[in-house]
């Protein structure tokens, strides 16, 4: 059984849509809300601990740190603010450069730009879509302060190589593990390998708080700095005295209560993801023109999203396949648009004439199939059958 546990299935996220008045769209993502969440969130409401103080904040932070095997964790309002807080806590700002993959979500370059620093992008490796670690060193300048890696769609980056380059050039490593809760690199959880790890708890992530994020580290100075900056930068010596500009990135107790309940279920959630990938792999392997996701020997992929590549031999483009699937009641999403192609950034004079062929190609042929925690074996089967039907109709 894919899902034997009797958790609530929440329908308000990318909700199933009625088509033809009888069928329902298989959503690209539908979360499962743990039973305990109702009790924990209700406890916040009943006791009045609805804001950013309260026991669930510290419980969630403690348990999350424990889960990852790190010393410290602090909650934030989103994955985006977690990244921003990470860079601020490392003292990164105007005049600095941060290296990141171009094939990633826009929150990554934004978080660098918010600090005043400059994003410098690197192409992808072909199979995982992750940053091509062999191309990082060529991008390092005197201004480089950090390398940000993103464990894309749940597959860990080859961290040893990143850490080696970072050590050699005295750079920080920031891991964006927003899509990879529980994924491991050589047995170690991602987010715990660099100087700072960042997580998102948005509704479609493996652990959710509705909206929310977390910064984790083994470094006491970094976490202390983060806690101060995320809470308006009160002076340690005198509350309401502010010697520098701070931020309000505080999570609420209610969000942490939801997060704690979800975190209690993470082993089951990861099992569900693994089985989902197994079933998709089994059914889709051997289809000419579809490239399925990989799992490198050093990694445990958590398949946040089950992503496939639509190659020329498939006979339809990625966009055509997405459209045909939609007509048949299957919702999908295309890959991210590379950072160096984003008008919001190129308008600022960034990435002029820069070309990253691997990321550009992946971005054009990649899509992900319904992959939410609430997906059933039957739905997976249905999706695969429809892919095959489309191929036969062609
Ligand atoms: C979701 C995500 C974020 C941003 O998280 P939010 O909680 O939505 O702000 C950052 N990076 C990656 C790779 C993500 O997938």
Query: Do 355 and 11 meet the contact criterion of CB atoms below 8 Å apart?
Result: no
Within a domain: residue 157?
A: yes
What is the rounded CA–CA span in Å between residue 94 and residue 318?
40
DSSP, collapsed to helix, strand or coil, labels residue 100 as: strand
Query: Mean pLDDT per 10-residue run, the chain (394 residues)?
Result: 45 47 78 96 97 96 98 98 98 98 98 98 98 98 98 98 98 98 98 98 97 98 98 92 96 98 98 97 95 97 98 97 97 97 97 97 98 96 97 88
Q: What radius of gyration do the chain's Cα atoms show?
A: 21
Residue 357, burial from CB neighbour count under 10 angstroms (0-12, 13-18, 19+): exposed
| 282 and 181 housed in the same domain | no
For residue 205, the ligand 1 atom closest to its alpha carbon is 1
Domain of 278, CATH number, reads 3.90.1150.10
Do 17 and 59 belong to one domain? no
81 CA closest ligand 1 atom index: 9
Residue 203 near ligand 1, beta carbon < 6 Å: no
| Together in a domain, 143 and 247 | yes
User: Do 175 and 95 lie in a common domain?
Assistant: yes
Cβ–Cβ < 8 Å for 81, 249 = yes
The ligand 1 atom nearest the CA atom of 211: 7
Same-domain pairing of 175 and 255: yes
**2 domain residue, yes or no:** no
Task: Specify the residue with its C-alpha closest to ligand 1, atom 4.
Answer: 79
User: Which of these three, 234, 263, 292, is where a domain ends?
Assistant: 263
Which residues, other chains included, contact 123 with Cβ-Cβ below 8 Å and sequence gap of 6+?
A: 101, 102, 132, 135, 356, 357, 358, 359
Q: Which domain holds residue 378?
A: 10-30+266-393
The answer to whether residue 68 sits within a structural domain is: yes
**233 CB-near residues (< 8 Å, 6+ apart):** 242, 243, 244, 245, 246, 247
| Ligand 1 within 6 A of CB of 206 | no
Q: Are 31 and 13 in contact (CB under 8 A)?
A: yes
The answer, yes or no, to whether any atom of ligand 1 lies below 6 A from the CB of 153, is no
User: Across the strands, what pairs with 197?
Assistant: 175, 216
Distance 107 CA to ligand 1 centre (A): 6
Domain assignment present for 1: no
Cα 62 to middle of ligand 1, angstroms: 22
Decide: 107 in ligand 1 pocket, CB within 6 A: yes
Given this model, what pLDDT does residue 394 score? 79
Please check whether residue 136 lies inside any domain of the structure: yes
Instruction: Say whether both 180 and 107 belong to one domain.
Output: yes
**Do 282 and 258 fall into the same domain?**
no
253 and 345 co-located in one domain: no
Same domain, 204 and 113: yes
Phi, psi for residue 34 in degrees, rounded to 5: -65, 145
User: Residue 147 in 3-state DSSP?
Assistant: strand
Does residue 5 fall inside a structural domain?
no
The alpha carbon of 200 and the centre of ligand 1 are apart by a number of angstroms equal to: 5
Q: Which of 335, 198, 203, 207 is nearest to 273 (CA)?
A: 207
> Is the domain of 243 the same as that of 158?
yes
Q: Is the CB of 80 under 6 A from ligand 1?
A: yes
Residue 174, strand partner residues: 148, 196
What pLDDT, on the 0 to 100 scale, is given for residue 255?
Answer: 98
Pairing mode of beta strands 196-200, 333-334 = unpaired
Predicted structure pTM score? 0.94
Q: How many domains does the chain have?
A: 2
Among the residues of the chain, which ranges form H helices?
35-47, 55-68, 79-89, 107-114, 159-169, 220-230, 253-263, 266-284, 318-327, 343-346, 357-365, 377-393
Q: Is the CB of 104 under 6 A from ligand 1?
A: yes
Of the candidates 244, 263, 282, which is a domain's last residue? 263
What is d(CA 344, CA 103) in angstroms, rounded to the nearest whole number? Answer: 15
- Round to whole Å and give the CA distance between 175 and 172: 10
pLDDT for res 264:
98
Residue where one domain finishes, among candidates 238, 263, 288 = 263
Between the CA of 33 and the centroid of ligand 1 the distance, in Å, is 20
C-alpha distances (whole Å) from 100 to each of 128, 132, 181, 182, 188 are 15, 10, 20, 22, 22
Top mutation candidate among 87, 153, 154, 200 for ligand 1, by most atoms within 8 Å of CB: 200
CA atoms within 13 A of residue 102's CA, in its CB half-sphere: 31
In this prediction, residue 24 carries a pLDDT of 76
- Ligand 1 close to Cβ of residue 213 (< 6 A): yes
Residue of 105, 129, 206 to mutate, ligand 1, most atoms within 8 A of C-beta: 105
State whether 280 and 328 are in the same domain: yes
CATH, residue 110: 3.40.640.10
Whether ligand 1 lies within 6 angstroms of the CB of 77 is answered as no
Residues 6+ apart with CB under 8 A from 363: 103, 334, 335, 336, 337, 338, 341
Whether the CB of 79 sits within 6 Å of ligand 1:
yes
> Ligand 1 in contact with 209 (CB < 6 A)?
no
Cα–ligand 1 centroid distance for 79 (angstroms):
5
Residues in the chain: 394
Phi-psi region of 358 (alpha: psi -120 to 50; beta: other; left: phi over 0): alpha
> Does residue 151 fall inside a structural domain?
yes
CA 369/CA 324 separation, integer angstroms: 13
Q: Is 204 helix (H, G, I), strand (E, B) or coil?
A: coil
Establish if 245 belongs to a structural domain.
Answer: yes
Helix (H) or strand (E) holding 369: strand 366-369
Cα–ligand 1 centroid distance for 81 (angstroms):
9
Contact 291, 311 (CB under 8 A): yes
pLDDT at 23: 55
- Diameter over CA atoms, the chain: 72
Six-digit token pair at 125?
């490796």
Q: 242 and 137 share a domain?
A: yes
């Amino acid at each position: 059984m894919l899902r034997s546990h009797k958790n609530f299935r929440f329908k308000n996220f990318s909700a199933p849509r009625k088509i033809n008045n009888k069928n329902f769209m298989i959503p690209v993502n539908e979360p499962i809300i743990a039973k305990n969440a109702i009790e924990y969130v209700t406890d916040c409401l009943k006791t009045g601990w609805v804001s950013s103080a309260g026991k669930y904040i510290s419980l969630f932070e403690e348990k999350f740190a424990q889960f990852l095997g790190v010393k410290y964790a602090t909650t934030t309002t989103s994955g985006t603010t977690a990244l921003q807080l990470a860079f601020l806590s490392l003292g990164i700002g105007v005049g600095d450069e941060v290296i990141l993959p171009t094939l990633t979500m826009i929150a990554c370059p934004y978080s660098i730009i918010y600090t005043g620093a400059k994003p410098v992008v690197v192409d992808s490796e072909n199979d995982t879509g992750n940053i091509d670690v062999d191309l990082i060193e060529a991008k390092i300048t005197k201004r480089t302060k950090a390398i940000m890696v993103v464990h894309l769609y749940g597959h860990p980056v080859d961290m040893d190589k990143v850490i080696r380059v970072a050590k050699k050039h005295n750079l920080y490593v920031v891991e964006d593990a927003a899509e990879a809760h529980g994924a491991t690199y050589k047995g170690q959880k991602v987010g715990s390998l660099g100087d700072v790890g960042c997580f998102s708890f948005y509704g479609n992530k493996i652990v959710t708080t509705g909206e929310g994020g977390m910064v984790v580290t083994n470094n006491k100075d970094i976490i202390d700095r983060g806690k101060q900056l995320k809470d308006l930068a009160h002076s340690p010596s005198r509350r309401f005295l502010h010697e520098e500009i701070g931020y309000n990135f505080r999570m609420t107790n209610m969000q942490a209560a939801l997060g704690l309940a979800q975190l209690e279920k993470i082993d089951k959630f990861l099992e569900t993801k693994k089985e989902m990938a197994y079933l998709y792999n089994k059914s889709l392997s051997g289809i000419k023109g579809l490239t399925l996701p990989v799992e490198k020997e050093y990694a445990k992929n958590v398949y946040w999203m089950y992503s496939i590549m639509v190659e020329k031999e498939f006979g339809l483009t990625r966009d055509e396949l997405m459209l045909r699937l939609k007509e048949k009641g299957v919702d999908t999403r295309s890959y991210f648009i590379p950072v160096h192609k984003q008008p919001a950034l190129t308008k600022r004079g960034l990435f002029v004439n820069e070309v990253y062929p691997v990321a550009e190609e992946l971005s054009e042929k990649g899509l992900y199939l319904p992959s939410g925690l609430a997906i059933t074996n039957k739905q997976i089967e249905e999706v695969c059958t429809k892919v095959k039907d489309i191929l036969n109709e062609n």
